[in-house]
């Protein structure tokens, strides 16, 4: 058995379509349909797919920001028994959330503009059981500022005094201060210029090597994800349709949607990240059948079973 730190099993989430004038309580958005994967200890799992395919919903279920409608989430702390995240009591959940940190896409919205950087970094730290007092925390914060490539003197500044890339560094610093075991990076470079993107990816790479943290890396760009991740799950309409070690996927992508995503990142089509892929019906067949040039009647009668291609590579597609 692999040494996982978080394991998602058959996660499912639907939202009521109840916003707006034509609200209908009995209609649903099936955001996540049946998602299973593992984040191995010290490794990076990439969840990749176009906008609306259910990546953020999946991550939010893992930290219980959203309640899962079905499935299970297991967390295995180091040298300890595994815990069922969905059955944690308040105290266990608080500890879990100190160890699993979420970095959001848009730093300008996730950083409180009225607070100094020091107060942003320590907002939840000061209510944790590990709070060492302000003086020590200030020293820790100063070190972490250096680690993320910022000046410790910046701790007294406010978010408006920084560029987009620097604000993302502050978000990363905030997630590091409580010494997490896992970082969830949700489209952390999507809102940034290309040159700044690579600087932030290099920073995450350094952090990963130095701290041996596990990552859930969420992105819509498959090429960037192949560069950064150990294993990748390609998501389409709430379902993982292909999973493989990143290098293997890069060389031998099998699923027609994965191939399309690779072509998209080459031509910068999928970089627009604009198309919504969610289904308003519970899935019966292959989620990609409406766009697939190879679709046949078998494809729409049932969700394709996982097919094992060896080397940790598996795919949900009936093609031989």
Ligand X SMILES: Nc1ncnc2c1ncn2[C@@H]1O[C@H](COP(=O)(O)OP(=O)(O)O)[C@@H](O)[C@H]1O
Which residues form the interface with ligand SF4 (CB under 6 A)?
255-256, 286, 288-289, 292, 294-295, 299, 304, 317-319
Beta strands in the chain (DSSP E): 4-16, 28-40, 44-48, 70-75, 83-84, 100-103, 182-186, 214-219, 231-236, 239-245, 307-310, 313-315
* Rama region for 188: left / alpha / beta (φ>0; ψ in -120 to 50; rest): alpha
Nearest to 43 by CA among 309, 199, 320, 233: 233
d(CA 215, CA 44): 4
Nearest 5°: phi and psi at 49? 170, 165
Least Å distance, CB 16 to Mg ion, is 19
140 vs 243 by CB, closer to ligand SF4: 243
The half-sphere exposure of 162 on its side-chain side, counting CA atoms within 13 A, is 25
Q: For residues 31 and 317, which CB has a smaller minimum distance to ligand SF4 in the complex?
A: 317
Q: Which of Mg ion, ligand SF4, ligand X, none sits in contact with 52, Cβ below 5 to 8 A by type?
A: ligand X
Contact between 122 and Mg ion per CB under 5 A = no
Using the minimum distance from each CB to Mg ion, give the nearer residue, 148 or 229.
229
Q: CB under 5 to 8 A by kind: which of ligand X, Mg ion, ligand SF4, none does 126 bind?
A: none
Give min distance, CB of 294 to ligand SF4, in A: 4
How many whole angstroms separate alpha carbon 214 and alpha carbon 77? 12
Any idea how long the chain is?
320
Strands 70-75 and 83-84: antiparallel
**Residue 294: contacted member of ligand X, Mg ion, ligand SF4, none (CB under 5 to 8 Å, by partner type):** ligand SF4
319 binds, among Mg ion, ligand SF4, ligand X, none (CB under 5 to 8 A by kind): ligand SF4
Scanning 47-55, 188-196, 240-248, 286-294 for contacts with ligand X by CB under 6 A, the matching segment is 47-55
Instruction: Say which entry of ligand SF4, ligand X, Mg ion, none residue 53 contacts (CB below 5 to 8 A, set by partner kind).
Output: ligand X
231 contacts Mg ion (rule: CB under 5 A): no
What's the closest the beta carbon of residue 32 comes to ligand X, in angstroms?
7
Please tell me the distance from the alpha carbon of residue 138 to that of residue 156, in angstroms, as a whole number.
Answer: 11
Q: Which of ligand X, ligand SF4, Mg ion, none does 12 bind, CB closer than 5 to 8 A by kind?
A: none
Using the rule CB under 5 A, which residue among 7, 33, 44, 56 binds Mg ion? 56
Residues that bind Mg ion (CB under 5 A): 56
């Amino acid at each position: 058995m692999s040494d996982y730190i978080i394991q998602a099993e058959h996660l499912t989430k639907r939202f009521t379509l109840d916003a707006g004038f034509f609200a209908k309580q009995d209609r649903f958005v099936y955001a996540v349909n049946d998602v299973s994967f593992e984040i191995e200890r010290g490794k990076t799992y990439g969840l990749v797919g176009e906008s609306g395919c259910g990546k953020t919903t999946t991550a939010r279920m893992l930290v219980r920001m959203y309640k899962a409608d079905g499935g299970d989430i297991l967390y295995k702390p180091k040298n300890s028994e595994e815990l069922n995240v969905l059955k944690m009591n308040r105290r266990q959940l608080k500890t879990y959330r100190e160890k699993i940190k979420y970095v959001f896409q848009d730093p300008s919205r996730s950083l409180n503009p009225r607070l100094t950087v020091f107060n942003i970094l320590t907002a939840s730290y000061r209510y944790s059981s590990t709070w060492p007092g302000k003086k020590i925390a200030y020293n820790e914060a100063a070190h972490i500022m250096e680690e993320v490539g910022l000046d410790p003197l910046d701790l007294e500044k406010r978010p408006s005094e920084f560029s987009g890339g620097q604000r993302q560094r502050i978000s990363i610093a905030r997630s590091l201060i409580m010494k997490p075991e896992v970082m969830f990076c949700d489209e952390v470079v999507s809102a940034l210029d290309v040159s700044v993107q690579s600087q932030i990816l290099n920073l995450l790479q350094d952090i990963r090597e130095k701290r041996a943290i596990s990552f859930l890396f969420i992105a819509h760009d498959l090429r960037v994800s192949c560069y950064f991740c150990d294993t990748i799950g390609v998501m389409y309409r709430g379902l993982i349709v292909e999973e493989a070690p990143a290098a293997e996927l890069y060389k031998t992508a099998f699923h027609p949607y994965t191939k399309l995503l690779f072509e998209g990142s080459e031509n910068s089509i999928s970089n627009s990240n604009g198309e919504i892929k969610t289904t308003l019906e519970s899935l019966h067949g292959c989620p990609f059948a409406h766009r697939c040039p190879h679709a046949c009647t078998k494809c729409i009668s049932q969700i394709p079973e996982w097919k094992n291609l060896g080397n940790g590579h598996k795919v949900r597609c009936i093609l031989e």
